[in-house]
Structure 1
Amino acid sequence: MLQQKKSRIPHTFVTLLSFTIVMAIMTYVLPAGQFERAEVDGRTVVIPDSYTIVESNPQGFFDVLKSVPKGMTETADIIFFLFIVGGAFQLITDSGMISSGINLLVKRLQGKEKWVIPILLLVFGVLGSTMGLSEETIVFIPIGVALALALGYDALVGVSIISLGAAIGFFAGFMNPFSVGVAQEIAELPLFSGVGFRIIILLSLWVATSVFLMRYAEKVKKNPETSLLYDRKAGTHVTAGGIDFENLPAFTKRHLATLIVFIGGFAIIGYGVFQYGWFIVEIGSVFLGMGILTGLISRMSPSDIAESFVVGAKEMVFAGLVVGIARSILVVMEDGLIIDTLINYLSHLISSLPDSLAVVGMYITQIVINFFIPSGSGQAAATMPVMIPLADTLGITRQTAVLAFQFGDGFMDSIIPTSGVLMAQLSIAKVSYDVWLKFIGKLMLIWLVMGMIFLLIANYIQYGPF
């Protein structure tokens, strides 16, 4: 009997390095060019109409190789953040708090499991809209996956509750200082103005995403074989936590103390982010403290705490490497001097469109640019100084131009392989990129169409500052 040859999906590293090589080839095809830049309130921004052709700097084979360690250097804060969070979460997991807490939650939610999805989506949506939750979501992925599995769903539901919840909040961004705040500042609009329309956007995206996830989750619960992660050989879901859900421990006072440390740590992080502008280094430091304190509460010796931390950090090695390699794509484009060329070409393309379609062209342009500049604040600094004068010329309000940036910057972060955060989330959940593409494809189309509709409405009502 002949065996069918099994088709192999390229490894994540292969996919990312392929994109890097393609961008290196583009440095030989596209002319090199640069905008002039200036410091404005401590932020480097592009000067409109300053684009000039410069001497090309094509990226060769050795440049592609160098882009990987360069990418890792540029994302070192995120990579080490992952190691620290992985170690801290291993200590929290070893304490038994998560598994016993899930046991308690599952018992309380019997018959009402599906409502966990919209509730948590809204919680993370609000956090995404206010705190700009992005890299921070990585720490919640193990909990989301474990909870989803305990409720009879699969790891895709678990990672989606966290990732897509924060994503819809980031898209709406009614008080997001990292994307909307920067874009509005450059556009000379009052900070967080137009909030009412953005809240409507958040609620609309929340409903659409909740319905999508709840339908998939219920289908998996009724028939596990419909899961995109179903392992037909083992007859089980692909899991990420290895938790024995049949024998979960009872919730004890020691677990309660660990939970208080956990909640208190996040309260400190929230206060630090809002009051002092904390970011990766400070948040990682709090997680390190949470992990050590949890180990002490669990009566672990210092050596046991260290060993547990190392185990957790090792689990994050793949995710950390993915973040650094994903960055290599941007490194090659920056060193090859073709990012500004793409922005310049796309802005000229928008200006050639009819006025009624210009806002859609602006939206599509931001989507394309987002592939190359996945950072929200980075994309705002690079594109808004060009887009705002263009919007003024075409009769598009500046608030609508900011909204086009928001959608273009946000939507694709949930699907593009250049997003280090997405790739880290999938790595931790042990979900392959090809499965994620298959899963999120329909929802992505829904989001993109919704974004276009909201932009056309904004253009029609002349969406303004208030």
Structure 2
Amino acid sequence: MQLKKFPDTITIILVISLFFIALTWIIPAGEFDKAVVDGREVIVADSYKQVDPAPQGLAAFLTAPIKGFNAASFVIAFVFLVGGAFSVLTYTGAINAGLYRIITFGKKYPRYKIIILGGITALFSLAGATFGMSEEVLVFILITIPLAKAMGYDALLGTAIPVLGTGVGFAGAITNPFTIGIAQSIAQIPIFSGIEYRLIVWVILTLIACLAVVRYARRLDKNVKNSLLHDLEIKEETYEAGDFPELNTKRKLILLTFFLALALLIVGVVYFEWYINEIAGLFIGLAILSAVIFKIPINKAISVFIDGAKEMMTAALVIGLAKGLLVIAQDGKIIDTILNEVALVAGNMPKFISAELMFIFQCCLNFFIPSGSGQAALTMPIIAPLSDLIGVSRQVAVLAFQMGDGLTNMIVPTSGVTMGALSIAKIPYNKWLKWIAPVFVILFIVAMLLMLPPLLWFSW
């Protein structure tokens, strides 16, 4: 018996929209008072009150997409522009020529293929843990997928490297300003304090991620039919030596420009607080320089740019629709109620159970708010004082937040970045879920265990 085709990503998000709307009819509406602290809006502890119900209906279902597009407009524009820029870069053949050098090295020294994959995954994890790489994944996935395919693997592996890598990086955040920085400042503990134990957490979670990537790569090395994408109607591309252009002087210069742009991106994000505007401008500049070096006629360069932007249409739709889910929950005024109820339950439990409940709660809340900074601003004003009452260190409360946020971002269908990445890779959500779910379960269990040492063996 042939199974029916699994719903595509947009269908899944629309179904979740109906689920969110149903919740606004079931969960009482409530609100915390808000205050502005250091330019951020945070909630005021012990200020929860029920308000008039705000159940959402057909109008919310129909208007959530446009509201989501409005809320995610920066990210959507970023996806279009970077997609166009990479199309120009790809047209020069520089990326493929560089990939061929890596493939040749991998074939000559097969044992290093695994080291390359694990090393790149660890680099993405470090980027997530230090300067908070997130939306930038949508840039790098345009590189890791061709790299994985050229090495004889599939798009799923190419997607897992940056998505899983940055996910565990966020979970084991060391100096991530968007999660640790905001959470610790709201919790009123020294910024980036407790870095010694967080470093241990990061190493353990990153090692698991690298092993997961390597294990799947070894499965594909044994038999390409082990690919979870093998049964798709659109088969994975295969690459032969003749598919790769010559790495001539022009392409070498373009690759050098590309790597300089990546270095500039890291410096800009870490030291100059670059975000979407600056990063998009950087890649537009890279596209222009690539076109000039390769002597692409301006009309042709614009045409190639437009074609690349068109390829990002599905990803842009997914990001906007995913953001619309948060709009429904906010308009229905159910998020504060959920937060208040969990705080009441956790406050009546022993501290060991309460600490684990904090972590589980952050994982669940991320389904509604897949934004590290947003989740920190919403939860820490409540969770931090709650941790004092139950005898749990505020550092532990921050740890629960960072791991709950980071781990679930790579699996929840409400994450615009993850779903956008899957759309770019043309990977059905069920295929991704089949691969990532066992990895997530392992990471989840390990994260719960990592919550215990600060409670059992040392004061943090």
Contact 1:90 1:309 in 2 (8 A): yes
Match of 2:254 in 1: 258
Change (3 A) 1:463 1:259: farther
Mapped contact 1:414–1:422 kept (Cα < 8 A): yes
8 Å CA contact 2:261, 2:282 repeated in 1: yes
CA contact (8 A) 1:68 1:325 kept: yes
Structure 2 partner of 1:382? 378
Which of 28, 48, 54 is equivalent to 2:51?
Answer: 54
Equivalent position of 1:269 in the other structure: 265
The corresponding residue for 2:174 is 174
Partner of 1:41: 38
Between 242-251 and 153-162, the greater mean CA deviation after superposition: 242-251
Summarize the Cα distance change of 1:462–1:397 in structure 2 as closer, same or farther, 3 Å threshold. farther
Q: What is the distance in 1 between the residues matched to 2:397 and 2:459? A: 10
2:236 pairs, out of 230, 238, 257, with 238
Return closer, same or farther for 1:451/1:86 CA change in 2, 3 Å cut-off: same
Amino acid at match of 2:114: K
Identify which of 325, 330, 342 aligns with 1:329. 325
**Which among 434, 438, 447 is matched to residue 442 of structure 1?**
438
CA distance in structure 1 between the aligned counterparts of 2:71 and 2:240, rounded to whole angstroms? 39
Give the letter for the 2:10 counterpart: F
- AA aligned to 1:391 is S
Alignment gaps of 5+ in structure 2? none
Give the distance between the partners of 2:441 and 2:223, measured in 1 at CA. 26
Matches of 2:182 and 2:145, distance apart in 1: 33
Map Cα deviations across residues 176-203 of structure 1 (whole Å, 9 max, x no partner). 0000110010111111111111111111
Pair 1:340 & 2:336 matched: yes
Cα pair 2:122 2:210 within 8 Å, conserved: no
Equivalent in the alignment of 2:28: 31
Aligned partners of 2:162, 2:393: CA distance in 1, in Å? 33
Question: Is the partner of 2:136 in helix, strand or coil?
Answer: helix
Shift of 1:238: 2.7
Q: What's the offset of the Cα at 1:417?
A: 0.4
Q: Secondary structure at the match of 1:325?
A: helix
Q: Distance in 1 between matches of 2:118 and 2:94?
A: 24
Q: Show CA shifts across 1:390-433 (max 9, x none).
A: 00001100101100001111110010000000001111111110
| Structure 1 residue 214, shift from structure 2 partner | 1.1
Going from structure 1 to structure 2, the CA distance change for 1:63 and 1:264 (only over 3 Å counts) comes to same
Deviates most, 24-33 or 258-267: 258-267
Confirm or deny that 1:18 pairs with 2:2.
Answer: no
Alignment partner of 1:426 is 2:422: yes
Q: 1:9-37: per-residue Cα shift (whole Å, max 9, x none)?
A: 11211110111111111111111100001
Secondary structure of the residue aligned to 2:178 is coil
Give the TM-score normalised by the residue count of structure 1.
0.95
Matched, 1:280 2:279: no
Letter in 1 for 2:330: E
The answer as to 2:63 corresponding to 1:66 is yes
Q: Does 1:96 align with 2:89?
A: no
> Residues of 1 paired with 2:233 and 2:72: CA distance?
38
- Residue 367 of structure 2 aligns to a residue whose secondary structure is helix
Equivalent residue for 2:122? 122
Deviations 1:363-415 (A, max 9, x none): 11111111111110000000000001100001100101100001111110010
Q: Distance in 1 between matches of 2:158 and 2:177?
A: 27
> Residue 188 of structure 1 aligns with which residue?
188
SS at 1:387's partner residue? helix
1:303 to 277, 295, 299: 299
Q: Is the contact made by 1:347 and 1:365 (CA closer than 8 Å) also made in structure 2?
A: no
CA contact (8 A) 1:326 1:418 kept: yes
CA contact (8 A) 2:169 2:406 kept: no
Of the three residues 105, 110, 117, the one matched with 1:108 is 105
In structure 1, distance between residues paired with 2:315 and 2:404: 25
Q: Retained in 2: the 8 A contact 1:273–1:279?
A: yes
Which aligned segments of 4 or more residues in structure 1 are displaced greater than 4 angstroms?
242-246
Q: CA deviation at 1:114?
A: 1.2
**Aligned length, in residue pairs:** 457
Q: SS of 2:35's equivalent?
A: strand
The 1:76–1:243 alpha-carbon spacing in structure 2 relative to 1, beyond 3 Å, is: farther
Give the deviation of 1:93 after TM superposition: 0.5
1:329 and 1:245 map into 2 onto residues whose CA distance is: 45
- Cα displacement (A) at 1:291: 0.8
Aligned counterparts of 1:40 and 1:424: Cα–Cα separation in 2: 32
SS class of match (2:145): helix
1:392 to 1:101, Cα distance in 2 relative to 1, 3 A = same
The alignment status of 1:151 with 2:151, answered yes or no, reads yes
Alignment of 1:354-369 (within 5 A): 354-369=350-365
Q: How far apart in 1 are the matches of 2:253 and 2:345?
A: 59
One-letter amino acid of the structure 1 residue matched with residue 42 of structure 2: V
Query: SS state of the match for residue 38, structure 1?
Result: strand
Change (3 A) 1:245 1:189: farther
Identity %: 38
Aligned to 1:77: 74
SS of equivalent residue, structure 1 residue 178: helix
Shift, 1:167, TM fit = 1.5
Give the C-alpha shift of residue 151 in structure 1: 1.3
1:398 maps to which residue? 394
CA contact (8 A) 2:170 2:405 kept: no
Residue 247 of structure 1, CA deviation: 2.7
* TM norm structure 2: 0.97
